[in-house]
Amino acid sequence: MVAMFNFMKKTPTNKPETPEQRAARDSAVDKVLLGYEVGTVSIATMVTGLNRDGDQLTLDLRLPQESKPEAIQQELGQLLHPHGITTIHMNVRLPAPEKGSGSSLPKKMPKTTNAMDSQSKPAANPDDNSNNDNSAEPPITKAAPTQASLAAHPRIRHIIVVASGKGGVGKSTTTVNIALALQKLGNRVGVLDADIYGPSMPTMLGVADMKPQLENEQFVPVDAHGIAMLSIGSLLDGDNTPVAWRGPKATGALMQLYNQTNWPQLDYLVIDMPPGTGDIQLTLAQRIPVTGAVIVTTPQHVALLDAQKGIEMFNKTHIPVLGVVENMALHTCSNCNHTEAIFGTGGGEKIAEQYHVPLLGQLPLASGIRAQVDKGEPSVLADDEFAPYYLSIAKNIETNINKFAKPVDDKRIF
């Protein structure tokens, strides 16, 4: 591989160079770098950045793991000194060591300088690497935040996340109805739509046209039937505006919605999570004090496999699983009243038993549930025939949640 080097031509003020002299020096430097080998590979293939400023040369290098940067620096200094290079700066990055050989973090070498004059020092012994270990930055050892280290929100008693291993299991519909059911039981409830890429809470609560106000540089949640609701969907220009963001920006939006919102005093903040176990879930687990998680699944085998991954993720991040909700459990024909388990039977019971968590409830597969959220009046709000299912789930949540509550610092002032 032949590397093309672009030099920054800056002539020393005490001895101006002609264009011909600069070209000759550049050519000589190129020839030295192309001919110098680390092991059996030309160092030119390892150069990621190069800059020449008069008699100084700066190299950005990605070297093999077993190389000796300071020995290389000394040898290059001797080879380039006859061509007018008196100082070499090397910024070296070594790859991560192989598995089992120590830290898996790449070690970034600090900038090193080799000043060469007419009586330059001899090259260092290649076998002497006593200085290498001292110059390397230590690996990062600070652990990521855990749930135990997070302080409870001063105005929110419980934060519940409603999650699923995969999409299409009715998670958002379940979230909005559970929130309304908790409110109907006499609680002060808020909803945070953390499904950044597919926000649906504004539509389901019938407040798609309402925008949150700003007060003292904080969002004021939208009042949706007495529920304090905030969603990225409330901040977009229209229903067809896509949120095409990479992970860091999406997680940043979630934290902004949580931290920069003037939440009222709440008994419950119910968070509608996106499906899966990605960036947003991990950010939430490390930065938001969660009381517990509710897992929504269908009896279908594939959905159960993904729900297990969700439970395992919450177990690893030390977030208690409050229980499992089995959605679309049974379908009753509106014409003949025949009841059929379209997606299978016993799935929710099986996963609840496997992980020793409660089965909070089983919901039917019914077009009425879908129709109510489509028009912004969920079943609990409409008090239809399906509302008792969600009220039962909310009661089951309230039965066990206090044992998972996080201590609140009443002296904390925002």
Task: Tell me phi and psi for residue 292, to 5 degrees.
Answer: -175, 170
Q: Report the pLDDT value the prediction gives residue 175, as an integer from 0 to 100.
A: 95
Binding residues: 165-172
Cβ(322)–Cβ(397) below 8 Å: yes
Q: What angle do CA 373, 375, 377 make, to 5 degrees?
A: 60
Q: How many residues does the chain have?
A: 414
Q: Tens-digit pLDDT profile for the chain (414 aa)?
A: 333 333 333 344 445 667 777 777 777 887 888 788 887 777 877 877 777 777 888 888 888 877 788 888 888 888 888 888 888 888 877 665 554 444 433 444 444 444 444 344 444 444 444 444 444 445 544 566 778 888 889 999 999 999 987 788 889 999 999 999 999 999 999 999 988 888 889 999 999 889 899 888 899 999 999 999 999 888 876 666 677 777 788 888 889 899 999 999 999 999 999 887 778 888 888 889 999 999 998 887 777 788 888 898 899 889 999 999 998 887 777 777 666 766 667 778 888 888 889 999 999 888 889 999 999 999 999 999 999 999 999 999 998 888 787 665 544 443
Strands (E), 45-178: 47-53, 56-62, 87-93, 112-115, 156-163
Q: Report the pLDDT value the prediction gives residue 124, as an integer from 0 to 100.
A: 45
Binding residues for ATP: 165-172
Q: What angle do CA 402, 407, 411 make, to 5 degrees?
A: 140
CB atoms within 10 A of CB 42: 17
**For the whole model, what pTM was predicted?**
0.63
